[in-house]
Amino acid sequence: MPGRAVSRFFVPLPLSAPPPHGGSASLADPALDGPAPVRNRRDAGVRHAQCMALAHGTKDPHDIMVDYNLIADLSLDLSDLESALGQSSMASVLERGEVSKFETNSILKGKVVGISGDYVIVDVGLKSEGQIQKAEFEESGGVSIGDTVEVLLESLEDAEGSVVLSKRKADRIRGWEQILVTRKEGDVVEGKVLRKIKGGLLVDIGVPVFLPASQVDVRRPGDVGDWVGRMMRALILKIDTERRNIVISRRKLIEDEREEAKKRLMGELVEGSIVRGTVTNIADFGAFVDLGGLDGLLHITDMSWGRVGHPSEVVKPGQEIEVKVLNIDREREKIALGLKQKETSPWEEIEKKYPVGARVRGTVVNLMSYGAFVRLEDGIEGLVHVSEMSWTRRINHPSEVVNVNQEIDVVVLDFNKDKLEISLGMKQTEVNPWELVGERYPLGTVIEGKVRNLANYGAFIEIEPGIDGLLHVSDMSWTKKVAHPNEVLKKGDSVKCVVIEVDQEKQRVGLGVKQLSEDPWVEAIPSAYRPGMIVTGKITKITNFGVFVELEDGLEGLLHISELADHKVENPQDVVKSGQEVEVKILRVDTDDRKIGLSLKRAQWGASPTPESSNPADMAAFVAPKRAKAPTKGGMDDHGALGTDKIKLD
């Protein structure tokens, strides 16, 4: 608060009172140029001033402060008093400007005459001293009695008639004047953060200035209040002389300095050099390191030769580290850094330590859907693919075989030194049972096994634990066309098969059921079904191109649409129905394609035209066709015919 003035009130001395300094004085004292009668209040005021001068050890009333209040109270003429005291007129004083310096809001020089409690008493030459709070002097380093200080005259007289002074405001005005003279926008200043205010901080750089929260740092801090009491450097963004406002920015200063440092750094950095930096930020893929003006990326894969789950396992924000410059992209201003490259790579002599075929022991460190990673030593890990875990088992996930932290034996299958990759195998530590399959199950071997699984194309039969053979649908029957294996087999059935193929390289064994019996298309069917014969069959299927006729169980022939009637048939169902029994004539038997061609209209003719062939047997067949009884019992009856697969005709 503004200082209060200590007023000086002069009390007229009684005529008989002794002088304060121990002498004797009266209104008729000879030292005052002889006795002078006191006739009125004017004379009393004059005599009072003279007595006060004598009481203070001087004969010159000019050396003491005049109590103008008393003069006014006594209704004295100021000019008479000045004349009596030997002083010059007030007009001449005003002309010399000796009073104008006491205008309000002007800065005065004063002298510290005392310190009382929390107040400092300052004499600026007015009717009273001003009292200023001691706290206003602490900002400038304290105060002592006798110090000359500058203060702002806020008011010549307050409600109590006291002078109001301020040291703080005077300092701010002087500081503002100094700023305008010595500083401009863009200059760098340094100051102490005073306190947190709405929207930012108040910083003292000689005068209080505003630092917006957004300009405190390049990354907005959590609480700008943490800066209170700290010194900081900043850049002057704006000076408003009319409002006496200054806005500063620490962020702009940092950005400018970083830009300069970046240019210098890009000119000095070389790939392969070792530099120091500070970790500024950590992400899942790596850490950013401030090299002094430019951030470089330390990727997680370049932190250690060993496995790193997260960058925070290796570095922390604010940590100073030494890194190696791996790559510099000057156009994009990007720098790739490495930490592990400071050390010798364990892959340098990998071919000597882990040659192909070597059996080594390692620890499972990670499981993926496609395989398990095995650590052979710090910085060296290999992959065991699921296909390399077992010779016989089909592994869907590595967890079916191994667990993390489990120690296992593996064999080195291959390595890529450039890509830092090693392929490992678990099954190679055991004898490959497929190498013995060819010896144990040669072609033609009859085995009996259980159906383990069914697929659209066949059934998997377990030959022995871990070894399955494939029974394809085409190898299930000579005479029956099997669309899906579940028409013949079901899971868990025991079935007898013959080995028809062994492929050790592809690890496959082919099995067959129909091969257990003779192929009827070789002899039995051609013998039982000869061209020209008329046989009875049952219509099983009608298509847009013809009709399939079942001649016996599992054996069908095709009755083409052109052979249904003498006239043109648009729809076979106009002539025959499914399930209808018909007499048909055998036109041809194709043993290569396993097809039998039939004709309905020729069977109905009763007598056939002469065939193109001149063979007497063919002539007899067409002239006097025989109605043959259809073979039964799968072709194993008296006529010796065998069944065949369902027939497809072009």
Packing angle of the helix pair 41-55, 78-85 (nearest 10 deg): 40
pLDDT digits (tens, 9 = 90+) for 579-618: 899 999 999 988 888 888 999 888 888 644 444 444 444 4
Mean pLDDT of 517-545: 86
User: Which residues make up the CATH 2.40.50.140 domain(s) of the chain?
Assistant: 100-173, 183-254, 269-342, 350-428, 434-516, 524-635
DSSP string, 542-601: E-SSEEEEEEETTEEEEEEGGGS-SS--S-GGGT--TT-EEEEEEEEEETTTTEEEEESH
Which token pair is 412? 């080195």
Q: 350-428: what fold?
A: OB fold (Dihydrolipoamide Acetyltransferase, E2P) (2.40.50)
| HSE (side-chain half, CA atoms, 13 Å) at 645 | 22
Separation of CA 2 from chain center: 57
Reply yes or no on whether the pLDDT at 25 is more than 70: no
Looking at 99-186, list the stretches that DSSP marks H as alpha helix, in order from N- to C-terminal side: 135-138, 167-182
Mean pLDDT value across residues 299-306? 88
Predicted confidence at residue 233, as pLDDT, reads 93
Residue 244 has pLDDT above 50, yes or no: yes
Q: Which residue did the predictor score with more confidence, 8 or 167? A: 167
Higher-confidence position of 207 and 466: 207
Task: Please report the pLDDT score of residue 116 as a whole number.
Answer: 84
pLDDT at residue number 79: 52
- What does the DSSP assignment read for 224-243? GGGGTT-EEEEEEEEEETTT
Q: For 70-74, 346-350, 364-368, which range has the lowest pLDDT when averaged over its residues?
A: 70-74
Contacts of 286 (CB under 8 A, 6+ apart): 297, 298, 299, 300, 302, 303, 311
| CA–CA gap between residue 131 and residue 165 (Å, rounded) | 7
Measured distance CA(276)–CA(289) in Å, rounded: 9
For all residues of the chain together, what is the average pLDDT? 77
CATH of 524-635 among 2.30.30.140, 1.10.760.10, 3.30.70.20, 2.40.50.140: 2.40.50.140
Architecture of domain 183-254: Beta Barrel (2.40)
Q: Beta-strand (E) ranges in 257-379?
A: 274-283, 286-290, 295-299, 320-329, 334-338, 359-368, 371-377
Where does the pLDDT of residue 324 fall: very low under 50, low under 70, confident under 90, or very high at 90 and above? very high
Q: Give the CATH class of 434-516.
A: mainly beta
The CATH homologous superfamily to which domain 269-342 belongs is: Nucleic acid-binding proteins (2.40.50.140)
User: Which residues partner with 377 through β-bridges?
Assistant: 380
Euclidean distance between CA atoms 68 and 10, whole angstroms? 10
- CA end-to-end span of the chain: 116
Residue with tokens 């990727």: 299
- Out of 19-33, 285-299, 392-406, 517-531, which region has the weakest mean confidence (pLDDT)? 19-33
Q: State which H helix or E strand residue 121 sits in.
A: strand 119-123
Q: Read off the pLDDT of residues 555-567 as tens digits, 9 standing for 90 and up.
A: 888 899 898 888 8
What is the band of 101 on the pLDDT scale with cuts at 50, 70, 90?
low
Task: Give the C-alpha separation, 530 to 615, whole Å.
Answer: 14
User: 3-state DSSP call for residue 123?
Assistant: strand
Considering the four listed CATH numbers 3.40.50.720, 3.30.70.20, 2.60.120.620, 2.40.50.140, the one that applies to the domain covering 100-173 is 2.40.50.140
* Average pLDDT, integer, range 257-276: 85
Is 229 a residue whose pLDDT tops 80?
yes
Select the more confidently predicted residue: 391 or 322.
322
Q: For 354-374, what is the mean pLDDT?
A: 92
Q: Are 64 and 71 in contact (CB under 8 A)?
A: no
